[in-house]
Amino acid sequence: MYLRLIKKLQNIINRISPILAISMILILWQTLSATGSIPKFMLPSPIDVVNAFLKDFTLLMQHAGTTLMEAFLGLSLGVLLGFLVAVLMDRHEIAYKAIYPVLVITQTVPTVAIAPLLVLWQGYGITPKITLIVITSFFPITIGLLDGFKSSDQDALNLMKAMGASNFQRFIHIKLPSSLGYFFAGLRISASYSIIGAVVAEWLGGFSGLGVYMTRVRKSFSFDKMFAVIFFISMISLLLMLLVSLLQRVLMPWEKEKLKRENSRRGKKK
């Protein structure tokens, strides 16, 4: 009885510890700016930031709409391209050997460095933003899918072959579902990359979007708004990652069953 109480308490502490840590940081921050240890124009207090966010709420939402639209289009194209490249590389050994180094090289080029080039080539419209997002987001997808395809059970593939399955059937029934877990791991990364990519591209020129908003408030030295938009962007990234996790849970129901079993086993051990 007593032991169980302790266990419960530990459980609660485990769960609220991240919330506690964040609150501590916020309190420290608030006191630092309230006591004037750091000048207010340089580091606005958390309350100022929240106020700035609320004041500019409608404007922020409009800009967020643009950014999300770009991110969505770029990510969709990136996923599509990533998928096609992964399938091609899985299907033909020569494609794998030829493309893999190129893929790695594209990842070593910093986003911030190619963004200005893209703007010069493609103007201030939506195109350079989408291009940048495609470049950054398709890599995790391709690599994830490739690892996933490779992870398929070789014996199961052989069995399917013995049953007379075509390459396409083996792909649909074994390779594709085997790779879903890896795909979603890649998609979680790509989703947050897509927002960052959009914002970086918007810094360099554009008519609306959170990156454009950021540049404007920076030029007017509105630190509170700067902070507000930074937090807003990370919030959006977190939400997107959550959305991907939800999607994964819906599309991979068998994982849920496995998890349930594992949890119940762990529970029994206790």
54 binds other proteins (CB under 8 A): no
Minimum CB separation of residue 174 from other proteins in Å reads 7
Site string for other proteins, 148-167 (x = CB under 8 A): -----x-xx-xxxxxxxx--
| Integer Cα distance of 206 and 197 in angstroms | 14
Comparing CB distances to other proteins, the nearer of 92 and 258 is: 258
Residue 134 CB-density burial (10 A; 0-12 exposed, 13-18 middle, 19+ buried): buried
Cα three-residue angle 239-240-245, rounded to 5 degrees: 95
Of 38-46, 92-100, 177-185, 222-230, which segment contacts other proteins by CB under 8 A?
A: 177-185
Task: Kindly calculate the radius of gyration of the chain based on its CA atoms and give it in whole angstroms.
Answer: 24
Comparing CB distances to other proteins, the nearer of 46 and 181 is: 181
Comparing CB distances to other proteins, the nearer of 23 and 158 is: 158
| Integer Cα distance of 81 and 137 in angstroms | 10
Residue 123 CB-half CA count within 13 A: 4
Q: Which of 49, 118, 141, 174 binds other proteins (CB under 8 A)?
A: 174
Minimum CB separation of residue 208 from other proteins in Å reads 42
Minimum CB separation of residue 144 from other proteins in Å reads 16
Query: Which positions from 237 through 256 interact with other proteins, judged by CB under 8 A?
Result: 252, 254
264 binds other proteins (CB under 8 A): no
Minimum CB separation of residue 261 from other proteins in Å reads 6
Comparing CB distances to other proteins, the nearer of 32 and 257 is: 257
The residue whose two tokens read 């206790």 is 270
Tell me the CA distances in angstroms from 36 to 7, 30, 31, 51, 157, one per residue in order: 43, 10, 8, 19, 67
Tell me the CA distances in angstroms from 57 to 126, 196, 239, one per residue in order: 23, 20, 18
Question: Which string of DSSP letters, residue by residue, matches 236-248?
Answer: HHHHHHHHHHHHH
Q: Which of 151, 258, 263, 264 binds other proteins (CB under 8 A)?
A: 258
The residue whose two tokens read 């470049």 is 135
Comparing CB distances to other proteins, the nearer of 174 and 200 is: 174
Which structure tokens are listed for 262? 């594992």
Size of the site for other proteins (CB under 8 A): 22
**Binding region for other proteins (CB under 8 A):** 153, 155-156, 158-165, 169, 173-174, 177-178, 180, 252, 254, 257-258, 261
